[in-house]
Amino acid sequence: MSKAKKSRVLSGVQPTGDVHLGNYLGAFSSWVQAQDTTESLFCIVDLHALTVEIDPGELRSNTIEMAKYLLACGLDPEKCAIFVQSQVPEHTYLTWLLECTATMGELNRMTQFKDKGRGNDSVKVGLFTYPVLMAADILAYNADLVPVGEDQKQHLELARNIAIRFNSRYGETFVVPDPLIPKVGARVMDLQTPTSKMSKSTSSPQGILYLSDTPEQIDKKVRRAVTDNDAEVFYDPHNKPGVSNLLELLGCATGENVDELATKYTSYGPLKADTAEALTELLRPVQARIKELSDNESYVLEVLERGRVRASELARATVDRASQAVGLLPAKTIQGIGGH
Ligand code: TYM
């Protein structure tokens, strides 16, 4: 009897130096779950990191550091492929085909570009076309599911629209991917400004919980987290963003339901103390594994090489199909013309 085909999962993360809890709860924890039941590929998107100014040495070390974090958070190279985006040139090749499918209007509507780059002439063209490279990351693997935090929803919608348009213009080529957004932890908020998402580029260090934070740092940041004055504990992200964020963090760390958790607290102090403790416990094994990996760079490079080989094989097949679908001559034909 033939086995049902496993769904394929692809997701990506930028190689920022410090990984924060938003990355972990919004993305990595669903990646770890996905690797057990799906064919999974996870990509460190170093080309995306070039869209803003970054020191070359820092980019190199951040890329390796990110691979260590992915392993420390529980990705298992026996169950999934972990690879570096720039090492699979099919991504950039496919980006061009997709840029000739996407429209200016669509890219103009991307809110992340509006927030970061709109109206600034010195902003890089790559920041504007960034979502098309992201679509190529996904479509190159014919991924069925893309586990991401909520902030990536609009980019996923664009990838879907590009796939649908390409398929209807050139014939069935790409799988139309679905986002996979976790129920809790999809939008971890800044501890100091709980109306904004936790993000390295927009938050103050006191508002961000890094996976590398010591128990003392976690305790201090959580205790100083902005809440509000009425001292009531209930889950209502709109009216009580700070308290709701703490309840979500505690819920993610303990696996408990946020509304039920809220009934256990009548003031903020104990909620903060329990949240800090639960997060410290959540991060303890991750930090222990990071330490183990810190002296083992050759193992990390080996993992990335294995990932590259697997990813290249899959991406090449799709990209060849897409390129022939639009009417580009396959390389073999060109050799044939010259050689025979
Ligand atoms: P990036 O590197 O900003 O973030 C990586 C993942 O972490 C999630 N995330 C969050 N989730 C919850 N709360 C937060 N505060 C928070 N901050 C970040 C993001 O949603 C993401 O899932 N464009 C992408 C990278 C990318 C990609 C891809 C993703 C490139 N190609 C293909 C999926 C598929 C980005 O910049 O993520």
Task: Let me know if 197 is a catalytic residue.
Answer: yes
79: annotated active-site residue = no
Tens digit of each residue's pLDDT (9 = 90 or more) over 229-272: 788 999 999 999 999 999 999 999 999 999 999 999 999 999 99
Arch. (CATH architecture) of 8-185+297-336: 3-Layer(aba) Sandwich (3.40)
pTM: 0.95
Mean pLDDT of the chain: 94
Closest-CA residue, ligand 1 atom 26, reads: 12
How far CA 226 is from CA of 216, 244, 246, 264, 265, in Å, comes to 18, 11, 10, 20, 17
Catalytic residue from among 79, 124, 153, 200: 200
> Could you read off the pLDDT of 102-122 as tens digits, one per residue?
999 999 999 988 887 777 888
Pick the closest to residue 46 from 29, 67, 20 (CA basis). 67
Burial class (CB in 10 A: 0-12, 13-18, 19+), 306: middle
CB 190 within 8 A of CB 198: yes
Burial of 260 (0-12, 13-18, 19+ CB in 10 A): exposed
Q: How far apart (Å, rounded) are the C-alpha atoms in residues 235 and 258?
A: 7
Do residues 233 and 267 make contact, with C-beta atoms less than 8 angstroms apart? yes
Q: Does this chain's domain 8-185+297-336 share its CATH topology with 205-293?
A: no
Q: Which architecture, in CATH terms, is 205-293?
A: Orthogonal Bundle (1.10)
* 200 carries an active-site annotation: yes
C-alpha 168 to ligand 1 mean position (Å): 29
Ligand 1 first shell, C-beta below 6 A: 10-14, 22-23, 26-27, 45, 48, 134, 137-138, 146, 148-149, 151-152, 155, 186-188, 197-199
- C-alpha to C-alpha distance for 334 and 190, rounded to whole angstroms: 55
Question: Any idea where the domains of the chain sit in the sequence?
Answer: 8-185+297-336, 205-293
pLDDT in tens, 69-105: 999 999 999 999 999 999 999 999 999 999 999 999 9
